[in-house]
Structure 1
Amino acid sequence: MPSYYVASDIGGTFTDTVVIDSDGGVGRYKSSTVPDNPAQGVLDTLELAAGERGVPLERLLADVEVFAHGTTVATNAMLEGRSRKVGLIQTRGFGDTLPIMRGFKATGLEEDEIKRFRTLVKQPAAVPRRLIAEITERVDYAGRVVCPLDEADVRRAVRELKDAGAEVFAVSLLWSFANDVHERRVAEIIEEEVPGASVTLSSEFLPRIGEYERTLTTAVNASLRPVLKTSLDSFENTLAKAGLKTGPLLMQSNGGLATFAEVEKRAAATVMSGPVGGVVASQFAGARNGYRNIVTTDMGGTSFDVGLVLDGRPVMSNTTLIGRDELALPSVAVRAIGAGAGSIASVRNGVLRVGPESAGARPGPACYGRGGTRPTVADADLVLGYLNPDNFLGGRLKLDVDKARAAIEEHVAKPAGLSVEEAAEGIKTIVDARMADLVRQVTVEQGYDPADFAVFAYGGAGPLHAFSYGAELGCPQIVVPLTASVHSAFGIGCSDLTMVEELSKPLQTPPGTTDHASALAPEELNATFDELASRARRDLVAAGAAPETISFAKFVEIRFRAQIHVLTVPVEAERITAADVNAMVEKFVEIYEGRFGKGAAFLEGGLEITTFRVVATSPVPRAEFDAGTLGAVGGAEPGTRRVFSGGQWRDAAVYRTEHLHDGLRIEGLAIVELRDTTVVIGPGQDAEIDRFGDIVIQNR
């Protein structure tokens, strides 16, 4: 019997699914997202997959061996204010930790918002002050109890929070990562006072230094757990009723998969669940095609996401930025702006703006004919001639050119005094410039030269716009993978079971130290890593991983003494020796000076290890992907279509799937219409089809 490996990604506008057959064939499917019932969008794509294979949906699902999933539930709940009300319990004297924040008013804002100084204010606290209670207790930095826990005070606090409307509880006490005895007792008291209440302890969920970040992340996780659990339970039940026999896995922000049961406890670790899939897929495709340095660019219906693959590995961040909050959770580093095919264009005070507001899946762009009346990037692409109105979603959705023109004329062309075509090109130019600016922020502003990177363009709209923003950056190649329209889902299908365990255990070297192993005892480092590896192994085995398949990667966060920010340093040695400690410090200096300039390091001042991290992975069963996608010959001659480009109408060659073959060269201006996306090769560019079906665009 055939077996299938399925991965899905639910976006704001479209739901993408990849079905990999046991022989390695990759099927790509898209359907409109159903906001009120996300599982339905997935089932719609699976109906397409079943129909293509000539089997009933129930039969297809019964033969699925692995089902992996990416979700925006936690992200949307946080951004839209639909998370649960949290009752936060903190050490007496520290109840203002969240309202004070870090004092940075610009965190999470786009550049044009930062410039509006009159309206630049801090975001609302994640937990309002009325839902924060202080209790009497104190543990010092070494884990010593200096003030016993006042249990009567805890009971008072819990009752007050419950009466104030708290639906779930978070506990974040001072230095609890050094000694969790008080937090564990608080959890017991909460259960006694509010039986069955959901409780998140910072010492269990995030045992790391940084009072504000730890408290914020713990509170956010507590608020998201019930929302994610409800959604995942509904999703799993819906698919089970349709015939799925295996338990689904969920993508995490760190680029790995976890079981629904495990990830429910770490809901905040899923806020980048969808976007990181595209980075993982680009890493996979890059390794296959020989690209070690990649800028990943994902243009969907609502946002534009950018990440980096550096020397064959996704660039990671110690934090996860969601909205205007920075969570203390490691994630694949992805930056995003509100620039997608559904981004709405408008004229304000005579200035044309595009996004961040989006038309979403319902009603969507005006050209979808679902009731939308405001112009979007997709409407502009259609009016300019880049999109074929009869070939959208493989012809399943007919686009209405007249409605697109009417929306642009009313809301952009007339107010700006432009023709409809000029207004449409203005919309496209602005959104392309915004995307190029974000790529520059991720590369140039971080010390990387775009000329050293290939751009991978994917998402429903990325292949259409990449010829413009990619050329502006000066990158040598723009690669549109064959899986472009479902690239994030494909990446989810390429991922492994992953568990991250970390612990803050500050260790310092005295100023002037040259033999760092004398202050950072190898046996203490090994013991800490062993403890974390044991926890991670336990959780992976509970998720179904075979112990012999589990591998570990170790990292430390290091900073110079008296500095605030840390850098992550990999630890390669299986058992750390004195020589390995000194090598680790040398690696830290190398990374530090690479970021801040030669000579910036100051070892004479001493350094500090703040946090230990272990990343444990176990491979998920999957088929070997078929590398031979295209043959050596193509079909008939391409057609032509009029496209408005550079202020005038031009003839563009139009290629379809049947025209493509390995080694085919295409001279721009040209359009490649695949059944699930549209690729544009601009004037002054050439493209070649490689043996994997990827389209590689280069400037002449």
Structure 2
Amino acid sequence: MTESTEGRYRIGVDIGGTFTDGTLVDSATGKVTTSKVLSTPSNPASGFISAVEKLLASDDSVNPEAVEHVVHATTVATNAIIEGKTAKTAFITTEGFRDMLEIARQIRPSLYDLQFEKPAPLVPRQLCFEVPERLDAKGEVVTPLDEKALANVVDQIADSGVEAVAVCLLHSYRNSEHEQRIGKAIAEKLPNVIISLSSDVVPEFREYLRASTTVINSSVAPIVNTYLSSISQKLHAAKVTSELLVMQSSGGVYPAAAASENPVFMVESGPAAGAVAAASLGTALGQPNVISFDMGGTTAKASLIRNGQPNITKDYSVGGAAQSGTGAFGGASGYPIRTPVVDLVEIGAGGGSIAWVDSGGALRVGPHSAGADPGPVCYGLGGEQPTITDANLVLGRLDPAYFAGGEMSLNLDVAREAIRKNCAEPLGLSIEEAAHGIVEIANTAMVNALRLVSVQRGHDPRDFMLVGFGGAGPAHAVRLAEQAGIPRVLIPLGPGTASALGLLVTDVRMEGSATLIVRSDEVELSRISDEFERLETAGREAHQVAASASGDPVFERAIEMRYWGQSFELSVPAPANPTIDQAWMNELTESFHDAHETAYGFRANDEPVELVNLRLTTVGKIARPQMRKLDSTNADASAASKGDRPVYLAENSGDKGVVQTPVYDRSKLPAGAVFNGPAIIEEPDCTTVIHPSWTVTVDDFGNLGIELNN
């Protein structure tokens, strides 16, 4: 490699529950270098810097100072909420609404579950305060802010020793003056306390959802701030002095400074990176409609991408039972957030998911995971409960001597013993049958996730291609496609670290919103124009401050709409015509009818339509690294052969499902190579299992295109 030049390299680091993945891309040549290290749950920053140092050490010619920017996806905010380790936070609201967080919403995630308990509020009641003031729904003052009462509240907060304060007043999305005055009073008295105002974080109607989002922002801000500061220090110590960007839940990135101030936008940072990677790859290969399937060590995540764009939702809860779905705000078991999130389904089915037999004698898999510490039994790090990885090893799908590229040796004997003791004997099965049962049960759960993002969203899975990645994804992707009715599968190059690569193929994105709540036949069109212009002005200002890694801003407009009288809205892209006139409104209304029919199966053309929220995304485009073509174009796969080994596949009727299966070294597979399953394809970060009746074709960039034989 020639001498590095300034701004030539980019680094992406994705911290998962089991592994931390790193990717380094040469912007000039498209060369990709990857690293994978075990995550360090007690101190995630250690795993982060280990992955970076491993990348830099992989090539002596890489100058750390030539790194243009580092992009990071992390679950540190989510983990803080799930584990109940948020910062001590106070909450201020309008007089009479102190119990807003406790009351929450009167809906249940499971209607007939009498044992259901709402999660405890992130702010206990003794730290919830109210001040006399009131605005009406138009933002006009009904009761002035009581400055004396406010001073008393600030004194109480000062004595409580909190690290953060969240402020959410009624109708502050219409008029932020009272919130701004409260924030100023707190800052003067407590300059070191982090303050979040709902009118800044999410200026939209529905007071509880706005309050919940603001409280989450405040309660995780001190933790995220400390974490990102630690990472920045470690990067500087490694002589990487470039800008640190953080993946948002919506699939865009924003600077670490902005992430420290508004961490609620990065709650689902990690899963979003995988969806972005799948969308970018599918678009580059001329397949804009794909289903992203990311299976790591702890969870499996599925997301649907149409026309090259992941679906974005704001109906999401964090910290509760895993659910998905529009309506009821994505479920009621956690803490709702009203920020844009990639619409995905996440389930507890990863390589480290534990298999167990319940009290009724049924074999179960997950949601508990062995994680990175102690990990699956075969890792030999102290794990005692069998996992999906142990089952794949017992079935012959993994090579015990070639795991993580040979850096880790797996113990087949202890994996067999764990499955025998915990699963096979209680069920009266052979070890192989029990292992196969573990894999198939996990597959069934993952197929359901694929159907949730496709069939239940009104899409036919046969019209999509499944992109399988993550450390465990390629071992299951073909079987899942078979069961879900998806005819094409794509396994990208370096699938185990694809999410980290996804961090480097996205743009800087900043969100703005404004609430309207007006019928389309009654709205003044100039009001829509004025609001969008105001949001664009704010977007340009934010872009000038934050987006040094990107080009000039591009604006994406959307309107959240519903039929008049409905409770939930759909997001519809604004018509491309920049002039907002009656033709613009007619096109927008027709787009809403189409979107409603796709989502719910019907349209009501004669019903009046209501415009609820305007949304503006300011996008700073970042140049994409180019995919690198393979040097070898010999169409014969025999050069990559590693021999064969017995593998248990349910489709085979031979010796109890065991068949001698060819094994290939993926790094030696040439472009144009075509071969049929069954087959095993090995590479350092994962193993791909090709089932019978499927054919593999290696494309010019080394991706595996897998199609079902007719």
Match of 1:124 in 2: 120
Counterpart mapping for 1:203-602 below 5 A: 203-323=199-319, 324-349=334-359, 350-509=361-520, 516=521, 519-545=522-548, 549-571=552-574, 572-598=576-602, 600-601=603-604
Match of residue 111 from structure 1: none
SS at 1:280 equivalent = helix
Distance 1:658 1:587 in 2: 46
Match of 2:144 in 1: 148
Q: TM-score, normalised by structure 2?
A: 0.92
Whether contact under 8 Å (1:684, 1:699) holds in the other structure is yes
Cα separation, 1, equivalents of 2:505 and 2:407: 28
Deviations 1:412-432, CA, capped at 9 Å, x for gaps? 222222222121111111111
Q: Distance in 1 between matches of 2:265 and 2:611?
A: 24
Following TM superposition, by how much is the alpha carbon of 1:558 offset from its aligned partner in structure 2, in angstroms? 1.1
1:314-345 per-position Cα deviation (integer Å, ceiling 9, x unaligned): 11112333232221111211210111001111
How many Å separate the matches in 2 of 1:415 and 1:127? 45
Residues 551, 227 of structure 1: CA spacing in aligned structure 2 closer, same or farther, 3 A cutoff? same
Distance of 1:405 and 1:212 partners within structure 2: 51
CA distance in 2, matches of 1:507, 1:672: 57
Task: Compute the displacement of 1:638 (Å).
Answer: 4.4
Equivalent position amino acid for 2:563 in 1: F
Gaps of at least 5 residues in structure 2 are 320-333, 651-655
Question: Cα deviation per residue 1:81-132 (whole Å; 9 max; x = unaligned)?
Answer: 11112211111122222222222321xxxxxxx5983433333233332322
Instruction: Check if 1:17 corresponds to 2:27.
Output: no
Shift of 1:162: 4.8
Structure 2 letter corresponding to 1:35: P
Match of 2:704 in 1: 695
How many angstroms does 1:685 deviate by? 1.9
Q: Could you tell me how far apart the structure 2 residues matched to 1:100 and 1:39 are?
A: 37
1:484-520 Cα offsets, whole Å, 9 max, x none, are 11111111100111111112132234xxxxxx3xx32
Q: Compute the displacement of 1:636 (Å).
A: 5.2
Q: Tell me the amino acid that sits aligned with residue 354 of structure 2.
A: I
Match of 1:632 in 2: 634
Per-residue deviation, 1:625: 3.1
SS at match of 2:149: helix
Partner residue in 2 for 1:612: 614
- Name stretches of at least 5 consecutive residues in structure 1 with no aligned partner: 107-113, 510-515
Question: Aligned in 2, Cα 1:192/1:54: closer, same or farther, shift over 3 Å?
Answer: closer
CA distance in 2, matches of 1:613, 1:435: 33
CA deviation profile, 1:616-637 (whole Å, cap 9, x unmatched)? 1112255433244653355254
For these two proteins, the number of residue pairs brought into alignment is 680
Greater Cα offset, 622-631 or 410-419: 622-631
Deviations 1:272-315 (A, max 9, x none): 11111111111111112121211111000100111110122211
Q: Is the CA contact 1:132–1:161 (under 8 Å) kept in the aligned structure 2?
A: no
Task: Return the alpha-carbon distance in structure 2 between the equivalents of residues 455 and 241 of structure 1.
Answer: 41
Partner residue, 1:27: 33
Give the TM-score normalised by the residue count of structure 1: 0.94
* Letter of the structure 2 residue corresponding to residue 553 of structure 1: E
| Alpha-carbon distance in 2 for matches of 1:305, 1:474 | 18
Among 664, 675, 686, the alignment partner of 1:677 is 686
Are 2:352 and 2:387, in contact at CA under 8 Å, matched by a contact in 1? yes
Question: 1:49 Cα deviation (Å)?
Answer: 2.9
What CA distance in whole angstroms lies between the structure 2 residues aligned with 1:115 and 1:363?
Answer: 37
Percentage of identical aligned residues = 36
Residue of structure 2 in register with 1:109 after alignment: none
One-letter amino acid matched to 1:435 = M
CA distance in 2, matches of 1:121, 1:72: 25
Bigger mean CA offset, 316-325 vs 279-288: 316-325
Quote the Cα distance in structure 1 between the aligned partners of 2:186 and 2:95: 17
Distance 2:426 2:157 in 1: 52
* CA RMSD after TM alignment: 1.9
Contact residue 12 and residue 500 of structure 2 kept, 8 A: yes
The letter for the 1-side match of 2:447 is A
Matched, 1:65 2:68: yes
Amino acid at match of 2:618: A
Name the CA distance, whole Å, in 2 between partners of 1:475 and 1:257. Answer: 31
Q: Judge conservation of contact 2:251–2:506 (CA < 8 Å) in 1.
A: yes
Query: Structure 2 vs 1, CA of residues 224 and 379 (structure 1 numbering), >3 Å: closer, same or farther?
Result: same
